[in-house]
Structure 1
Amino acid sequence: MNIQIKAIKPIENKRIKPFTVFQPKKTDEEAVTRHLNQITAKLKAGKRLTAEEKAFLLRHSPALYQTAKRVEIQREALKNQLEHARSKEEAAAIYSSALGGVSKKDPDREYILAAIQDEMKTFQSTDSYKKLPATSKEADGKPVYHPYKNKKEKTPDWMGFYGKHGEYL
Structure 2
Amino acid sequence: MSESTGAEAADEIFNVTPERDPVEAAAARVARLMAQPGLAQAQGFEVVQAAPGEVTLAVSARPTLMASRVQFHGGALSALAEQAAAMAAATVLPEDKGAATVSVIVNHHRAAVGQRIYALARVVSAAPVMTVVEVRLEAESFGGRGPCGSAQVKLRTVPAGHV
Category of TM-score, reference length = shorter chain:
under 0.3
Larger-gyration structure (1/2): 1
Return the TM-score normalized by structure 1. Answer: 0.26
Bigger RCO (CA 8 Å, 6+ sep)? 2
